[in-house]
Amino acid sequence: MLKEELVLKDKLQEYKNIVDENLLKFIPDEAPKTLVKSMEYSLSAGGKRIRPILLLMVCDEYSIPRDISLPIAVSIEYIHTYSLIHDDLPAMDDDDYRRGKLTNHKVFGEAMAILAGDGLLTHAFSIVASIDSLDPNKKNKIIKLLSDFSGPSGMIKGQVLDMENEGKIVTEDKLIEIHNNKTGKLLLAPLLIASVLCDFTQKQLNGIKGYGKCLGLTFQITDDILDFCGKFEETGKPIGSDEQNNKATYVTIYGLNKARELALKYASQGSKYLEESQLVIPYLNKIINYLVDRKG
């Protein structure tokens, strides 16, 4: 492993620890115990925490106080976690395992899993609305971004398109539309939210937007590759579950080699966006290249 890669891995681990240590602190005290257990179970089930890490990395670079950036980072992970709980439900992907652990509904039952997802989603907005030291106009912009990027014209749209195209032959454009919404929007959200917090210029905003879209696609393609040939121990998911679900993926459409090429193409495009907008956030550049080689 290259030295630079080791430094990035340490940095990602450092940020992941910060997120992990703070995730459960934002659950409201008055919530009933079983619900809290179910929410905590999925929040604590691991994961790379890539979304909150992206937000924290950019905000730290621009000296945004942690008492502002951290709650927002947590709220994004709440929304991501809710989406996983609902996606795993029998009526949706019907997955028994995620990250090597039983899915929420396998432990707490379907009803509680639905409610835990609803709870995480709903409370995410309260977490952001409660940040006293954040300028109220920025707060509203961030809440709108969070809602729009995870809502019916964002992440949920991606989920619907994905369902509707199961078992169908899809074009590259359709595949990109699905992933730009399903995975891409919630990877883009922390970057755009950071842009609001850091008062980015229009040029910088365009740069980070372009980077974010490329990051999302790189992430999704490597996810498809991992699903196809990764090992259960490394990803925690049953291998080939996409194939079993009859889902169009970059691998089933293009084959493994072309999919790898595409991931590299988007990673290099992403770096270029950063460079052109003169955004100096070294870790962002490293992350997108690191993703291409990820094993889990």
- Give the helix/strand (H/E) hosting 133: none
Residue closer to a copy of itself by CB (options 143, 176) is 143
Ramachandran angles phi, psi of 237, nearest 5°: -110, 145
CB of residue 65 to a copy of itself, shortest distance in Å: 18
Please identify which residue in the block is written with the tokens 């019907």.
94
Residue 142: CB minimum distance to a copy of itself, A: 9
The values of phi and psi at residue 167, to 5°, are 80, 0
The minimum distance between CB 170 and a copy of itself, in angstroms, equals 14
Write the Ramachandran bin of 102: left for phi over 0, alpha for psi from -120 to 50, otherwise beta.
beta
Beta carbon nearer to a copy of itself, 51 or 286: 51
User: Smaller CB distance to a copy of itself: residue 47 or 117?
Assistant: 117
Which helix H or strand E contains 101, and what residues bound it? strand 101-102
Residue 88 or residue 218: which is nearer to a copy of itself going by CB? 88
CB of 54 to a copy of itself, least distance (A): 21
* Interhelix angle 136-150/155-164, nearest 10 degrees: 0
Residues ≥6 apart with Cβ < 8 Å to 226: 234, 235, 294, 295, 296
CB 48 within 8 Å of CB 290: no
Helices within 24-99 (DSSP H only): 33-43, 50-61, 66-88
For residues 45 and 57, which CB has a smaller minimum distance to a copy of itself in the complex?
45
Taking the complex as a whole, the smallest distance from the CB of residue 73 to a copy of itself amounts, in Å, to 18
Q: How far is the CB of 56 from a copy of itself (least distance, A)?
A: 22
Burial of 247 (0-12, 13-18, 19+ CB in 10 A): buried
CA angle 180, 185, 190 (to 5 degrees): 140
Q: Which of residues 85 and 288 has its CB atom nearest to a copy of itself in the complex?
A: 85
Nearer of residues 5 and 110 to a copy of itself, judged by Cβ: 110
| 96 half-sphere exposure, CB direction, 13 A CA radius | 2
Backbone angles phi, psi at 97, to 5 degrees: -130, 150
Contact positions vs a copy of itself (CB under 8 A) = 27-32, 34-36, 39, 82, 86, 89, 91-92, 109-112, 114-115, 117-119, 121-123, 125-126, 129-130, 136-137, 139-141, 143-144, 146-148, 150-153, 156-157, 159-161, 163-164
Residue number, 34 or 278, with CB nearest to a copy of itself: 34
Q: Are 186 and 150 in contact (CB under 8 A)?
A: yes
Q: How far is the CB of 128 from a copy of itself (least distance, A)?
A: 8
Q: How far is the CB of 285 from a copy of itself (least distance, A)?
A: 31
Distance of CA 95 to the CA centre of its chain: 19
